[in-house]
Chains A and B, each alone.
Chain A
Amino acid sequence: MSRSCHHCDEFTRASLFRRGAAEAGRGLPAIEPGMPAPAGTGLDRRSFVSGALGLALSVYGLGKLRLFEDGIAQAASDPAQPVLVSVFLPGGADSLSVLYPVLDPNYRRLRPTLALPDSAGPVFSEDTRLHWHPKLQPLAALHTEGKVSVMPAIGYTHPDQSHFTSRHFWEVGATDARLSSGWMGRYLDHHGVSDNPLQGLSLDYQLQPALASTKVPVASLAAPDEYTFGAPGVWGEVENRMLQTMGALGAHRSDPFLNQAAKAVAQSDRLRRQLAPFAKNSDTGYGSPVTYPDDDSGFPRQLAGLAAMLAANLPLHCVALTAPGSYDTHSDQPQALADGLDITARTLFAFQRDLEARGLADRVLTLVWSEFGRRGEENGSAGTDHGAAGTAFLIGSRARGQMVGEFPGLATGLDDDGNLRPTSDFRGVYCSLLEQWLHADASAVIPGARAFARSALVA
């Protein structure tokens, strides 16, 4: 079967747009009629660098910046809150490769060229029909330690196969194209505070829509280690003097607006001095006790930075970021999927070990998800098209480590379109996390919460 996927080009095009929009700090622009605008689109954003943090931040919806550092000081003195991290695998990761059903008689029929060798990946102990993708060995190891709950077929009824729409549903926590606040954002609206943007931290150049709030401020973290001031053709002693002079030009002025500019200069200079240890070529890094994978995707640095921020007792509560890799594998799936899963799994493993070494592992749960899984039957170009149920993982020392839902099998587990049927609902998982991990009333956050079955997720 060879079918071209018209969403595919759009997805690529949208990624370009998104990269552009990333610089704008706003969501994805609408490029097809009827496509939901990402949660948080149009939120006010302001960029600045926090002196207390030494981090370049963009803050959304905060009235007064001054409140921010006060809020941090205050929140940092409160008892440590649990932290929920959302990691998004963009493009729709193939659930039938992530955990591939070696013993399902239909697997090789549906995947004549893509089926992975029987012994390539470790057996999944909770359902021995399934094996972990070979590159997910690090997650298999954590699973053996009881630190990973697997959702082998997660989704929702009436699946939508648009990347944007399905991702939007996951981000807003409802199958509602018009909802514009993220599910974590709404949780923070109810339980967050008005002066601590770090309570919802997007580890990205732009706001992760799941964090889009309507009342309380949230933040996105740009580059923590790039606050430096160079000039072309200037170095050595002259450069040092130049930087001193930059500060001197920030001296008080009588004209109010000239003084406003001078103040920005003076504050920048102060910050430059404070951040000198973070400067790019410094070896101090984040002081991680473990070694993260060496990768230019930024993901290892983001999670290393996250662990360091938690260790520094910064008041983080909900965090969201995107995993490296592109999972929209319409063609040449084996290599692309392996590359993405490899760096993602090794980094998540390092993050868990980092948290353990820092004594923070009991405070953090990480939910890894994708907007959907892929078609049961492979297409004619060594790839797979958009499907329905996908795989999700909940990782952490406090994760219960027990499968949620089951693998429905390929004989009766496919819907009329040949896509995997869900055996768990993402909204049920959200409700369970809200109740069991964040101790919140799920019905205030997830529309129609009562209808979704809860699972025991937290040990």
Chain B
Amino acid sequence: MPPVYRGHFGKPQAERLLWRAGFGPRPGEAEGLAKLGLEGAVHSLMRPGRDRLKGPRPHDDRGHKLSPYDRWGHDQLWWLDRMVRTTKPLHERMTLVWHDWFATSRDGVGPAKLMLRQNQLFRRLGLSSFPGLLMEVTRDPAMLLWLSGVDNEKGSPNENYARELMELFTLGADRGAYSERDVREQARALTGFRYTWSDSLGPVRFRFDPKRHDTGTKRIFGKRGHFDWRDSCHLCVHHRLHPSFFVTKLWSYFVPVPPSGGTKRSLERVYVRSGYEVGPVVAAILRHPALYTGPRMVKSPALYLAGLLRGLGRGIDTEAWTWLMELAGQQLFYPPNVAGWDDSRWLDTATFRARWEIAGYAIRPRVLKESDKHVPDKADKLVDRARTVLGGPTLTGKSEATLTRFARHALGDANARWKKQQYPPLVENALRQLLATAPDLQTS
């Protein structure tokens, strides 16, 4: 079995777990989870019960309900709301993992409805059987449009899906897992999907049409048969190089450094023995010492934003998040390409500025007025208050010292009576902004 973390499981560890396996803690949530201990905490994430969305209902800038199918950007807001309000954070997080793993962009799909249908698929099957998920993805309308599955027909095969199925979804490139011939033959096996075009609705009635399927013999991974799309998925999952690809890729969503050889092999065993279930592998990763003792991980923009809002107790109440998310480098439902987002490149000078804007927008409704007379003029108290507003995140000593020093100096600038009255709220406002954008909160 893979190694299990045996160290102290307190608030910082629970906090990290909630960030890695969800969208960060609500106020008090990390403390509560810490009381359960590691096993209890992982169990509560794996089996959270029914999803009861918690918190203010989402609406747009005019106070109207979201229209994820129709209004630009509302698809993204709809999902962000799930991330913010879910009580099944791991399931929601897995939905995001699969959106990156099977990265499908609305750019090549069109209707939001199809994207959201795929999204529900990820939510529903995200922790169950991988082969089951793979089959559903293979015949998913958005994927069929995105990777040309509907253009792949007998006599004129389209290799787009066949290649990515092996390269990105199940086996990996440059590992000797498959040849160009396998790509061509897989494409033949995958022929037969089609849809009907409706002038009013766009693409509808996605289906497998035996008339468009190439029923001939194919030779894939050295095996011969009259393979179809189900066989195509089956052959990939049962390929000897699939388990190692699967566990390494899955691991990378939770831990920023690769697993050791031993850990990798033991995770493969967990995966194969469970009958290719996703849940047991995820649970093993969430118990692994590397998650708690290893380096921190940079948050994606979606995680950063949803986590900020969870900490603030704020719901989705503005459409600004759509363009701010894009500035930050992650527009949900629009991954940059079929390989998904590049997790190693979330932060640069442009995206950091976008995060600064996100933080400003997030804290703005609770801004303190300069006339507020109830703000203390003690540096450490102001730091504590700012931290409480953001949901009580743990800070590194270095950042805490820097922020306290800032507060002390800024309060010390008050050399006139009006400044002594007005600076404390200004300083607390600044502390909230600095805290929300500090490197500590960009990582978990």
Which residues of A pack against B, CB within 8 Å? 16, 20-21, 23-27, 29-31, 33, 37, 41-42, 44-49, 51, 56, 65, 227, 229-239, 241-242, 244-246, 248-251, 253, 255-265, 267-268, 271
Contact A249 B106 (CB under 8 A): no
Task: Tell me the residues in window 142-159 of chain B with beta carbons closer than 8 Å to chain A beta carbons.
Answer: none
Interface of B is mostly: helix
Contact B295 A24 (CB under 8 A): no
Top 8 nearest A-B pairs (CB, nearest first) are A233-B429, A261-B439, A231-B433, A264-B347, A233-B367, A261-B442, A242-B430, A245-B406
Name B352's contact: one of A29, A41, A265 (CB within 8 Å): A265
How many CB-defined contacts (below 8 Å) exist between A and B?
171
Contact B323 A258 (CB under 8 A): no
Contact B73 A49 (CB under 8 A): no
Q: Is B402 an interface residue (CB 8 A)?
A: yes
Chain B residues closer than 8 Å to A241, beta-carbon distance: 406, 409-410, 413, 430
Q: Shortest CB–CB separation between residue B422 and chain A, in angstroms? A: 9
- Annotate B301-334 by CB proximity to A: 1 below 8 A, 0 otherwise: 0000000000000000000001100110101001
Q: Is B434 an interface residue (CB 8 A)?
A: yes
> With contacts A33-B197, A267-B348 known, what are 10 further pairs, Cβ within 8 A?
A47-B350, A233-B368, A237-B419, A241-B430, A257-B443, A258-B440, A261-B442, A262-B439, A263-B347, A265-B442
Given A233-B368, A233-B425, A249-B402, are A265 and B437 neighbors across the interface (CB < 8 Å)? yes
Contact B345 A31 (CB under 8 A): no
Contact B108 A245 (CB under 8 A): no
Name A41's contact: one of B107, B440, B443 (CB within 8 Å): B107
Contact A23 B406 (CB under 8 A): no
Q: Shortest CB–CB separation between residue A222 and chain B, in angstroms? A: 8
Q: Is B426 an interface residue (CB 8 A)?
A: yes
Name A256's contact: one of B295, B345, B364 (CB within 8 Å): B295
Chain A residues closer than 8 Å to B323, beta-carbon distance: 23
Chain A residues closer than 8 Å to B396, beta-carbon distance: 253, 258
Q: Which chain B residue shows the least CB distance to A263?
A: B347
Chain A residues closer than 8 Å to B334, beta-carbon distance: 24, 26
In the assembled complex, the Cα of A375 lies from the Cα of B348 at a distance in Å of 49
Contact A234 B107 (CB under 8 A): no
Contact A264 B348 (CB under 8 A): yes
Contact B434 A233 (CB under 8 A): no
Contact A237 B72 (CB under 8 A): no
Q: Which chain B residue shows the least CB distance to A37?
A: B108
Contact A264 B410 (CB under 8 A): no
In the assembled complex, the Cα of A262 lies from the Cα of B437 at a distance in Å of 10
Chain B residues closer than 8 Å to A46, beta-carbon distance: 345, 348
Contact A238 B367 (CB under 8 A): no
- Annotate B359-373 by CB proximity to A: 1 below 8 A, 0 otherwise: 010011001111000
Q: Is B349 an interface residue (CB 8 A)?
A: yes
20 A-B pairs within 8 Å (CB atoms) are namely A25-B326, A29-B106, A29-B110, A42-B107, A49-B348, A229-B356, A231-B433, A233-B425, A233-B426, A234-B429, A235-B426, A257-B295, A258-B439, A258-B443, A260-B347, A261-B439, A265-B438, A268-B349, A268-B352, A268-B356
Chain B residues closer than 8 Å to A236, beta-carbon distance: 426
Chain B residues closer than 8 Å to A232, beta-carbon distance: 360, 363-364, 367, 429, 433
In the assembled complex, the Cα of A289 lies from the Cα of B346 at a distance in Å of 40
Q: Which chain B residue shows the least CB distance to A235?
A: B426
Given A44-B336, A241-B430, A261-B439, are A255 and B295 neighbors across the interface (CB < 8 Å)? yes
Given A231-B360, A258-B439, are A23 and B326 neighbors across the interface (CB < 8 Å)? yes
Name B351's contact: one of A47, A233, A258 (CB within 8 Å): A47
Chain A residues closer than 8 Å to B405, beta-carbon distance: 245
Q: Which chain A residue shows the least CB distance to B72?
A: A20
Given A238-B426, A238-B430, A242-B434, are A229 and B413 neighbors across the interface (CB < 8 Å)? no
Q: Shortest CB–CB separation between residue A162 and chain B, in angstroms? A: 16
Q: Is B337 an interface residue (CB 8 A)?
A: yes
Contact B350 A49 (CB under 8 A): yes
How many chain B residues touch A (CB < 8 A): the figure is 64
Contact B110 A31 (CB under 8 A): yes
Q: Is B398 an interface residue (CB 8 A)?
A: yes
Chain A residues closer than 8 Å to B434, beta-carbon distance: 242, 245-246, 249
Q: Is B399 an interface residue (CB 8 A)?
A: yes
Contact B110 A48 (CB under 8 A): no
In the assembled complex, the Cα of A31 lies from the Cα of B108 at a distance in Å of 9
Chain A residues closer than 8 Å to B162, beta-carbon distance: none
In the assembled complex, the Cα of A230 lies from the Cα of B434 at a distance in Å of 11
- Annotate B64-91 by CB proximity to A: 1 below 8 A, 0 otherwise: 0000000011000000000000000000
Chain B residues closer than 8 Å to A238, beta-carbon distance: 410, 413, 423, 426-427, 430
Contact A23 B350 (CB under 8 A): no
In the assembled complex, the Cα of A229 lies from the Cα of B331 at a distance in Å of 22
Contact A257 B298 (CB under 8 A): yes
Q: Is B11 an interface residue (CB 8 A)?
A: no
Q: Is B353 an interface residue (CB 8 A)?
A: yes
Contact A251 B356 (CB under 8 A): no
Chain B residues closer than 8 Å to A248, beta-carbon distance: 402, 406
In the assembled complex, the Cα of A243 lies from the Cα of B336 at a distance in Å of 32
Q: Shortest CB–CB separation between residue A294 and chain B, in angstroms? A: 26
Contact B107 A21 (CB under 8 A): yes
Chain A residues closer than 8 Å to B106, beta-carbon distance: 29
Which of A42, A232, A253 counts the most B-chain CB atoms under 10 A from its CB?
A: A232
Contact B110 A30 (CB under 8 A): yes
Name A271's contact: one of B326, B349, B443 (CB within 8 Å): B349
Q: Which chain A residue shows the least CB distance to B364?
A: A232
Q: Shortest CB–CB separation between residue A95 and chain B, in angstroms? A: 32
Chain A residues closer than 8 Å to B110, beta-carbon distance: 29-31
In the assembled complex, the Cα of A233 lies from the Cα of B353 at a distance in Å of 18
Contact B337 A44 (CB under 8 A): yes
Chain A residues closer than 8 Å to B399, beta-carbon distance: 249
Chain A residues closer than 8 Å to B197, beta-carbon distance: 33
In the assembled complex, the Cα of A284 lies from the Cα of B290 at a distance in Å of 52
In the assembled complex, the Cα of A246 lies from the Cα of B435 at a distance in Å of 9
Contact A253 B423 (CB under 8 A): no
Contact B369 A257 (CB under 8 A): no
Contact B349 A48 (CB under 8 A): yes
Chain A residues closer than 8 Å to B256, beta-carbon distance: 257
In the assembled complex, the Cα of A48 lies from the Cα of B363 at a distance in Å of 25
In the assembled complex, the Cα of A238 lies from the Cα of B438 at a distance in Å of 17
Chain B residues closer than 8 Å to A27, beta-carbon distance: 107
Chain B residues closer than 8 Å to A42, beta-carbon distance: 107, 337
Chain A residues closer than 8 Å to B207, beta-carbon distance: none
Chain B residues closer than 8 Å to A259, beta-carbon distance: 439
In the assembled complex, the Cα of A368 lies from the Cα of B72 at a distance in Å of 31
Chain A residues closer than 8 Å to B442, beta-carbon distance: 261, 264-265
Chain B residues closer than 8 Å to A231, beta-carbon distance: 360, 429-430, 432-433
